[in-house]
Amino acid sequence: MEHTLVPLSLDDTFRFSCHAGVSCFNECCKDINQFLTPYDILRLKQHLQMKSGDFLETCTSRHIGPETGLPVLTLKNRPEEGFSCIFMSPAGCKVYDSRPSSCRTYPLARMISRSRETGKITVQYGLLVEPHCKGHDQDCVQTVREWIASQDIAPYDAMNDRLMDIISLKNRLMPGPLDARQRELFHMACYDLDAFRQYLLDNYSCQKLNLSEETWKTLLKDDVELLTFGMIWLKHALFGASIHQ
């Protein structure tokens, strides 16, 4: 499907609104190949009140990224219904409050790059205009900055940038494919948080990780803090980086 990507700055405006009254409502939830980030999975499994392992088995498919060689997950769809998202209903998204970052960012696209010399991250935005989408014909006008705030995108972006940091480090230090054990460690720390929590309990202590008792207890009960720590731990486990950042 042809589309146009229009570059935008944070304070540029664009016209868009999506609701049940728009004639193409739910069309963007069909014929999809929805990639999920670690924070997407965290939010979805919490929303559905599922263990991470159960969510992964029931709702996702696992692949290996052709460029990074890292495990990636996609959301299962329904082939019998035009390969629609498993969370789509006639009334809209059944997990709307915890929908994935790409869904809540749409119709914007967020692109980041990191300088190899300075490590500085540059963020650019584009407006994705697709022929089927009638949301661009609506009267609602907002800036990119306002859209990011209204869709609660910031916590997703922050965690996704941590993932990009791991990918950048891997590409620089370990350009080849991970071995089976490394892939499982990555999958566990990023996607299967309940398994990672148990792994820490079985193999570590706050003393062994040089963490305070309070921090250790927080990791064992707070998924967001656990995922944040997991990405730091991964850089240590895979690339020998310091675990204290």
> 164: closest CA among 5, 9, 37, 34?
37
- Residue 65: which pLDDT band, with cuts at 50, 70 and 90? confident
Average pLDDT over residues 62-91: 91
Tokens 């407006």 label which residue? 127
- Let me know if residue 169 belongs to a domain: yes
Q: How many domains does the chain have?
A: 2
Which tokens is 91 given? 């009334």
Q: Which residues contact 136 (CB under 8 A, 6 or more apart)?
A: 14, 15, 16, 107, 129
> 28: closest CA among 98, 80, 105?
105
Q: Which domain holds residue 111?
A: 4-152
Nearest-angstrom CA–CA distance, 177 and 168: 14
Tell me which of 111, 133, 152 is where a domain ends.
152
Q: Check pLDDT > 90 for residue 144.
A: yes
- Let me know if residue 245 belongs to a domain: no
Do residue 128 and residue 170 come from a single domain? Answer: no
First to last CA, the chain: 43
Write out the H or E segment, with its range, that includes residue 116. Answer: none
Would you state the pLDDT for residue 127? 97
DSSP state of 176: S
Q: What is the pTM of this model?
A: 0.93
Do residue 66 and residue 109 come from a single domain? Answer: yes
- Residue 45: which pLDDT band, with cuts at 50, 70 and 90? very high
Do residue 31 and residue 116 come from a single domain? Answer: yes
Side chain identity at 88, as an amino acid letter? M
